[in-house]
Structure 1
Amino acid sequence: MTPSSLTTSSLTRRLFLLSVLWIAPALVITGIILTDLFRTHAEAELSRRMAQHLDELAAVLEVTPDGAVALARDLSDPRFRRPLSGLYWRVDGPGDRVLRSRSLWDQALDLPADTPKDGEVHRHSLTGPNRAPLVAWERSLRLPGAATPVRAAVIVDASDVQAATAGFSRVLGVSLALLAAGLLAAAAVQVRLGLGPLRRMRAALADLRAGRSNRLEGAFPGEVQPVVDDLNLLMEENRTMVERARAQAADLAHALKTPLAVIANAAAAPGGMDPAVVAAEAERMRGQIERHLARARAAPTLLHSSGGTVVLPVLRQIARTVARLHTERGVDIQIDGDARARVRADPVDLQEMAGNLIDNAAKWCTAVVRVTAVAAGGGIVITVQDDGPGIPADRRSDVLARGARLDEAVPGSGLGLTITEELARLHGGSLSLETSPTGGLSVSLHLPQAAR
């Protein structure tokens, strides 16, 4: 399997293969280490036993009156007396005389040329009867009454250690194979259980696509829940934007209905169509279309405004524009508030929300419109107060209905407050209507505060 296929395969397959990639080498290395430890221990134990045999052989050696070397008694291990048992001894005495254990029977077993120093034990590898691998331990002894040192050696068949090591390796291999199977099974179960939340998420997405739900439902682990929350938020934002697009289409249709009716009436008039009326209504429709196109262009940034917008400069710009529209009435628009106030909204949307409120207040005020922007409750509150007639408390909910107008004599489409409330809600804010200290209307626009 190539690295690219591993990264593009399913998570279950990738996690299981990664488990195999660490379990298999780990168990192989463990097997090698344990086998080597067993071999080392077996050889150390064999060396200890052979050192005891060598000490016993040295203890039973004696020099006869004629100067020859002999055994005072047989060694305790009966294998030294059983022919070709795999355990032997040999003593090279003065005058090239050689003593051998009965277990060598008629076999000759020569030691390599060597002269160990007093107290030293040398080890040699030999080939014994039936070409069996042998290991010899020898030492040089000075016996009382002997003219020259005596060379004593004990020899053992090493195939026993090799067979024991091979047997241990087979048992260990089977054990590690069973352990590997168990670990892989546990890894498979772990992968399946661990990926269970993703399968539940896939099922929830299938329900979402099939229309059986409108969000991802269910409880998920802490590692997955943020993804689910983000997906739900994204879907909610998409639904909100679709609803906003539908509302904008309805707003545009509503705004164009009156100019079209005026043009139709002008066309049906007995004196013919008045070009001035047509031009005025066409300009009115063009303004409505441009306004809604600007809102559509601002839509992608509606829910993702990052840097935020400083409030007071926008309010002052709007105040200057609205004041020019009401020059003949001498409307005084006062702007005050926190110069550092910054809202989490696009400048275009803030202009539209605040512009609707200030323009509406200027239409209904007697002389003064007061606008403030202050931080409150973790957000920014923009309050627009006028000294006009106000709105009765039992009618305030009516003015927020789409297209509602309490006085048809005042120009307008009846959409200003509705659009402002809609934009505020989409930005995570709200709109509230109260009575101003001067008896007019006080409109508070609550928007989330952006980081300064």
Structure 2
Amino acid sequence: MTLPPPPPHPPRPPAPRRWLGGPGSLQRRLLLAAGAFLGVALIAAGLSIGFVLHRFVRGQVDGRLDDRLLSLVSDLRPGPGGALSLGRDRDGPPFDRPRSGWYWQVGRGGARLGSASLEGRDLSVPEIPRRHRDDDGPAPADGTGPWGEGLILRILTVPGAAGQPPTIVAASAPKAALRGPVLDALRTLALCLGVIGLFLFAGVLVQVRLGLRPLRRLRDQLTEIRAGALARLPERQPAEIRPLVCEMNALLDQNAANLEHARAHVANLAHSLKTPLATLSMALNDPGSGRDGSLARLVDGMDRRVRHHLRRARAAAIGGPARSRVDLAAHVADLRLVLTRIHADRDIAFASEIPDGLGVACDPQDLDEMLGNLIENACQWCRRRVRVEARRAGAEVVVRVADDGPGLDGEAAEAVLKRGRRLDESQPGNGFGLPIALELAELYGGSLALGPSDLGGLEVRLTLPA
């Protein structure tokens, strides 16, 4: 049974550069919720303050009109034949401006006295609302002036003497006297509330970013663990995420222990099978053995079991925390030194184009096995030139091993990736190099592809996680 290769690690998403964060982020949710609550609070505060301002200005206007009513009543003098008269002139500003909306009128029966602003016209005094009829003070009312303007009225009823009708004293102010100051105050209030809201939202924004900074730092630390720069998460964390960090460290320790157990299991297995495999191999290679079919089947069965347990152990290694960051240039340089000595008689021109600091996330021994098989194959089939180059491609590293040998067509390229298949029996080898490299690459979530090289031969593209 062959275990399927584990899925590749997804590339780390780029950190959101927007202040509000990306869709679905905690920062975005917190800021949107805070903005909504701040907006509702500011609107409610504006409405409440506007209501208070309206009542305050209305109280000021009503007080001014009530003062006018009381002064009119105090100056009212009885005249001959039931006529009305005032002890002194009450047409001071603003009741002296025609059509200003600031009017007063005193009426008893058919007699009338009015302010100069009425220009001789009568002020239509509405009926006092029922809820204010029994009050001793002035009653509020809304009405319309002689020229159709909206008015705020205060009406005072003074009972008459025996047999005389009551005296109705009314004073009015234009509704603009109430609406204008309120609107001016509300504009200033809206500006102030807007500035306060911006400062409050800025404070919430800074608070959210500072509060989420430990999570961003934890994400970076996990990335360093996956890249091999850290073995465990630092335990010095805020109290809210310290339990999470402890659980993650415990999981990392458990995975490390499982990895060591798996490696020990593979080592024991390899040691126990080394002697019988060597014996069977010698027996099969003996010219007099005649390639016994039962021995061949036994070797094939043991080979399948060994590969099965190796896959299990490698899968545990891939999933554990022990993946380290391996410097690609250093390993290629070591392999180059070894292989140029092995093929010293062929004078191979070996070129390496690998940026400094470029690394892959895999086990060093696995990297040596993959690169060793690929470069050894290139050195074996090249005429004179071998080139190894690597570059970063997002979250992966692509290694290209090219030679100027005879190359392969499409069908031959598929054939050589099958275990034990060799196209030229005259060359040394057993046909396991490229399939092993492919299997290791897939276990790390990478790939292996063959194609033509610009040198004229074969190019092998090995893809591994960065």
TM-score (norm 2): 0.52
Structure 1 residues 86 and 263: alpha-carbon distance in aligned structure 2, compared to 1, 3 A threshold: closer
Percent identity of equivalent pairs: 34
Name the CA distance, whole Å, in 1 between partners of 2:185 and 2:202. Answer: 25
Name the CA distance, whole Å, in 2 between partners of 1:118 and 1:252. Answer: 107
Correspondence list, 1:56-205, <5 A:
56-75=71-90, 78-94=93-109, 96-113=110-127, 116=133, 119=136, 121-128=138-145, 130-144=147-161, 147-205=164-222
Structure 1 residues 80 and 143: alpha-carbon distance in aligned structure 2, compared to 1, 3 A threshold: farther
Q: Following TM superposition, by how much is the alpha carbon of 1:221 offset from its aligned partner in structure 2, in angstroms?
A: 0.9
Correspondence list, 1:48-59, <5 A:
48-59=63-74
Does the Cα contact within 8 Å between 2:22 and 2:28 map onto a contact in 1?
no
Q: Following TM superposition, by how much is the alpha carbon of 1:100 offset from its aligned partner in structure 2, in angstroms?
A: 0.4
Instruction: Encode CA deviations 1:154-186: one digit per residue, 9 max, x unaligned.
Output: 111121111111112211111111122112211
Secondary structure, counterpart of 2:113 in structure 1: strand
Q: Following TM superposition, by how much is the alpha carbon of 1:147 offset from its aligned partner in structure 2, in angstroms?
A: 2.3
Name the CA distance, whole Å, in 1 between partners of 2:167 and 2:63. Answer: 22
Instruction: Encode CA deviations 1:187-216: one digit per residue, 9 max, x unaligned.
Output: 221121111111111211221222212222
Does the Cα contact within 8 Å between 1:42 and 1:161 map onto a contact in 2?
yes
1:372 paired residue number: none
Letter aligned with residue 95 of structure 2? F
Structure 1 residues 99 and 228: alpha-carbon distance in aligned structure 2, compared to 1, 3 A threshold: same
Q: Following TM superposition, by how much is the alpha carbon of 1:76 offset from its aligned partner in structure 2, in angstroms?
A: 8.4
Name the CA distance, whole Å, in 2 between partners of 1:8 and 1:186. Answer: 21
1:23 paired residue number: 38
Name the CA distance, whole Å, in 2 between partners of 1:212 and 1:68. Answer: 106
Does the Cα contact within 8 Å between 2:102 and 2:172 map onto a contact in 1?
yes
Instruction: Encode CA deviations 1:225-264: one digit per residue, 9 max, x unaligned.
Output: 2212211211111111000111122233445567889999
1:10 to 13, 22, 25: 25
Name the CA distance, whole Å, in 1 between partners of 2:281 and 2:149. Answer: 120
Does the Cα contact within 8 Å between 1:92 and 1:150 map onto a contact in 2?
yes
1:250 paired residue number: 267
Letter aligned with residue 111 of structure 1? V
Does the Cα contact within 8 Å between 1:62 and 1:70 map onto a contact in 2?
yes
Instruction: Encode CA deviations 1:248-302: one digit per residue, 9 max, x unaligned.
Output: 22233445567889999999xxxxxxxxxxxxxxxxx9xxx9xx9xxx9xx9xxx
Correspondence list, 1:305-320, <5 A:
none
Name the CA distance, whole Å, in 1 between partners of 2:102 and 2:82. Answer: 28
2:53 pairs with 1:34? no
Name the CA distance, whole Å, in 1 between partners of 2:228 and 2:213. Answer: 23
Gaps of 5+ in 1: 1-5, 268-284, 300-452
Q: Following TM superposition, by how much is the alpha carbon of 1:146 offset from its aligned partner in structure 2, in angstroms?
A: 7.1
Name the CA distance, whole Å, in 1 between partners of 2:281 and 2:47. Answer: 97
Name the CA distance, whole Å, in 2 between partners of 1:37 and 1:60. Answer: 35
Secondary structure, counterpart of 2:95 in structure 1: helix
Name the CA distance, whole Å, in 1 between partners of 2:221 and 2:135. Answer: 85
2:246 pairs with 1:232? no
Letter aligned with residue 29 of structure 1? A
Structure 1 residues 30 and 106: alpha-carbon distance in aligned structure 2, compared to 1, 3 A threshold: same
Letter aligned with residue 88 of structure 2? R
Structure 1 residues 26 and 117: alpha-carbon distance in aligned structure 2, compared to 1, 3 A threshold: closer
Structure 1 residues 241 and 113: alpha-carbon distance in aligned structure 2, compared to 1, 3 A threshold: closer
Name the CA distance, whole Å, in 2 between partners of 1:226 and 1:114. Answer: 73
Name the CA distance, whole Å, in 1 between partners of 2:263 and 2:134. Answer: 106
2:229 paired residue number: 212
Letter aligned with residue 27 of structure 1? L
Q: Following TM superposition, by how much is the alpha carbon of 1:85 offset from its aligned partner in structure 2, in angstroms?
A: 4.0
TM-score (norm 1): 0.53
1:334 paired residue number: none
Structure 1 residues 83 and 8: alpha-carbon distance in aligned structure 2, compared to 1, 3 A threshold: closer
Q: Following TM superposition, by how much is the alpha carbon of 1:40 offset from its aligned partner in structure 2, in angstroms?
A: 1.8
Structure 1 residues 67 and 117: alpha-carbon distance in aligned structure 2, compared to 1, 3 A threshold: farther
Letter aligned with residue 212 of structure 1? A
Name the CA distance, whole Å, in 2 between partners of 1:124 and 1:140. Answer: 13
User: Rg larger in 1 or in 2?
Assistant: 1
Instruction: Encode CA deviations 1:27-65: one digit per residue, 9 max, x unaligned.
Output: 112211211121122223322332232222212112124
